[in-house]
Amino acid sequence: MRLFLILLGLGARFCSTLVYSTFVDSDTDEAAAKKYASEGFEIVFSDEFNTPDRQFKDGDDPTWTALDKNDYTNAALHYYKDTAISTSDGMMKIKTDFGVNTFKAKNEKTGAFTRKNKYYTSGQVQTWNKFCFTGGIIEVSASPPGHPSIGGLWPAIWMMGNLARATYVGSSDWMWPWSYDECEEKNQESQLISKCAVNPHFDLLSHSGRGAPEIDIFEGMAGPSEKLPNTKIKKPYFSTSLQVSPGVQNPRPVLTHKPLDGKWYEGMSYGTNSSLNNFFYGVQLKHTPEQYTYQSDAISANTAIEPKEYSRQHVFKVDWRPNDSITWYLDDVFLYKISQPNLNITGSKIPDEPMYLILNTAISSTWGFPTKTDSCKCTSYDCSDPSCTCAFPTGFCDNIPSSFDVDWVRIYQHSEAINLGCSTKDKPTRKYIQGNEEKFKRPEDDVPIKSVRRGGGDCDVDGECGGGGKCDNGGCVCGEGYTGPMCLAEDKEYPGGTFLDETDETIEVEGVHLPAIFLGVMFLLVVVLVAACCKRVTERRERMGRYEYIKVGETEGYKSGGRYDRASSNRV
Ligand SMILES: *[C@@H]1O[C@H](CO)[C@@H](O)[C@H](O)[C@H]1NC(C)=O
Ligand SMILES: *[C@@H]1O[C@H](CO)[C@@H](O)[C@H](O)[C@H]1NC(C)=O
Ligand SMILES: *[C@@H]1O[C@H](CO)[C@@H](O)[C@H](O)[C@H]1NC(C)=O
């Protein structure tokens, strides 16, 4: 029987590698699916956004979750609403608009909570803990929002390791953007899951340094075309970056200046219209005591783009080869490449963590905004507040509402390197997330993300329910292959045998039956070993296992967010 189960498991794995991935949109045409076939790549994910009126609220979609929360990172001036995300005209639209949103902010001095307003509503969708991949070619066709010569909107297409959830600041402390697999005394406290750790909790592997590195595929910087310091790049431009820790220690490059020879990452390649981003080198994530503080680095390039080209659909592409290289392209034209040897100054790695996708438009006083002078009394950043005229980039208030239109997203992997899943055998994340749910959810949520609701959405006639679904007693009933309250989303799931740790575990449990007495003895042994652990391990576990960030996401101001504070070229 046991042998049969093992064979069944192996058989299922073998067969599934022959089956077309179920994360591929049925609307993706043959030519797109086979774009890299001659190089041995197959399509493993796509979303064409052809179905109108799809919903992305928590629990609506098997691939994407739209956030509904305040953004506490990077001096954000917007509030994310799930209603800002929609599909129409064959695209996903991320709308930025006016809208008063009240949130709780903590005064760091008094500890008291006060209500504060934000005056812009925007959107962010992420595939966090739903769809992740390790390596491959990712292509996103999108047109940035707003006018190319007006600054202040910050559209972004990016990826982050699944161990941190973007904008949930508690999840990124000591996790973002580590990409380091060396055991070193000086980093042991600041890298939460250090290679030095033996038998860490949550099924994490021994001697396996982990983190949540960031790859930025596109970050748009619109604005007037004027000379910027120490670069040939003018606005509008966009940034393409790898963000990793540990970072370069002193001397750090001075903002707007080029790094000193031998004191920064070297050997990267740049395309004709791209050059080193001298406006952002990373941030220091300050913590007390001192050994918890660490530096993140942004190894970043800027690419100038013609104003008339800025707001059109373009294909932003990254070829990510874990442990090896990352190459960025615009409409298949080379922009920038970082290879593993270029990171030798710190020894960080070209990421090999399972990563998820993020699409959003932010508004931040650190992105394309003018430096606020002492005479500028604006605090609200409200377009209807006359005292704020001095605080905005020229034309900012007329640039809203605007829409970031994403036509499609496609991902390809080499057929011999198919590696899908947010928690893989080599890089498990599932139990860590389960054991630290508080860090990944809003305080009022029961769970970080709800399971997808299949049918049940309000309807009057069959036609309102997608995928040939029926309207039964005022509620949609989905046909096969469709899900979501209105059955408008194709049901997505990983093909079996894609190294999901869940699959592996099932096979193990089915295949290996250990006697209960043996398990009991092992358990006691573990208890004794744990009890014998030194103080440092206890401290570490407390940081990892319990929520000492009780007010996760409730504190305003600078935070080691999924993103970072950074100076824009205007702040020179
Ligand atoms: C560089 O920019 C110029 C001016 O916008 C454009 O004509 C040219 O095609 C670009 N070159 C590449 C390689 O993208
Ligand atoms: C990257 O290298 C590490 C060893 O440093 C290896 O364990 C891992 O499997 C590699 N990952 C990939 C995706 O090649
Ligand atoms: C690090 O790599 C660069 C090329 O990326 C090379 O020029 C340099 O010599 C290397 N340094 C060391 C210490 O290996």
Asked whether 272 lines ligand 1 (CB < 6 A), one says yes
In a domain, 520, yes or no: no
Within 10 angstroms of residue 223's Cβ, the number of other Cβ atoms is: 26
Report if residue 76 sits inside a domain: yes
Determine contact, residues 233/175, Cβ cutoff 8 Å: no
Tokens read off for 62? 């098997």
pLDDT digits over 313-335, tens only?
Answer: 999 999 999 999 999 999 999 99
Model pLDDT, residue 444: 94
Decide whether any atom of ligand 2 lies within 6 Å of the 353 Cβ: no
Q: What are the beta bridge partners of residue 490?
A: 482
- Least trusted range by pLDDT, from 91-100, 134-143, 285-294: 285-294
pTM of the complete model = 0.87
Is the C-alpha dihedral spanning 510, 511, 517, 520 positive or negative? negative
Does the residue 27 lie in any domain? no
User: 């099932």: which residue's tokens?
Assistant: 506
Cβ(198) – ligand 1 distance below 6 Å: no
Question: To the nearest whole number, what is the mean pLDDT of the chain?
Answer: 87
Would you say the CB of residue 53 lies under 6 angstroms from ligand 2?
no
Range of the domain at 90: 34-440
The number of distinct structural domains making up the chain is 1
**Which two three-digit tokens encode residue 131?**
């769809």
Instruction: Tell me which of 60-64, 86-90, 550-554 is least confident.
Output: 550-554
What's the CA-to-centroid distance between 466 and ligand 2, angstroms? Answer: 42
Whichever domain contains 68, its CATH number is: 2.60.120.200
Cβ 225 under 6 angstroms from ligand 1: no
Reduced DSSP (H G I as helix, E B as strand, rest coil) percent helix, strand, coil of the chain, to 5? 20, 30, 55
Under 8 Å between Cβ of 386 and 12: no
Percentage above 70 pLDDT, the chain: 83
The alpha carbon of 296 and the centre of ligand 3 are apart by a number of angstroms equal to: 20
Q: Which of 318, 310, 162, 184 is nearest to 242 (CA)?
A: 318
- Residue 208 makes CB contacts below 8 A (sequence gap 6+) with 181, 193, 195, 197
Q: Ligand 2 in contact with 179 (CB < 6 A)?
A: no
Residue 116 and residue 206: Cα distance in Å, rounded?
44
In a domain, 304, yes or no: yes
Residue 60 Cα distances to 162, 168, 486, 525, angstroms: 20, 20, 9, 45
pLDDT at 114: 87
**Residue 195 binned pLDDT confidence (cut-offs 50, 70, 90):** very high
Residue nearest to atom 5 of ligand 3 (CA): 342
pLDDT, residue 241, reads: 98
Whether 286 maps to a domain, the answer reads yes
Q: Report whether residue 135 contacts ligand 2, using a CB cutoff of 6 Å.
A: yes
Question: Which ligand 2 atom sits nearest the alpha carbon of residue 323?
Answer: 1
Instruction: Please tell me the number of the ligand nearest to residue 267's CA.
Output: 3
Ligand 1 centroid to Cα of residue 342, in Å, is 26
Asked whether residue 545 is domain-assigned, the answer is no
pLDDT, residue 516, reads 57
Q: Is 77 inside a domain boundary?
A: yes
The least confident of 12-16, 125-129, 313-317 is 12-16
Distance of CA 405 to the CA centre of its chain: 18
Contacts of 315 (CB under 8 A, 6+ apart): 139, 140, 141, 329, 330, 331, 332
User: How does 295-327 read in b/e, with b if 16+ C-beta sit within 10 Å?
Assistant: bbbbbbbbbbbeeeebbeebbbbbbbbbeebbb
Closest residue CA from atom 14 of ligand 2: 322
Please indicate, yes or no, if residue 534 is contained in any of the structural domains. no
- Residue-wise pLDDT for 419-436, tens only, equals 999 999 999 999 999 999
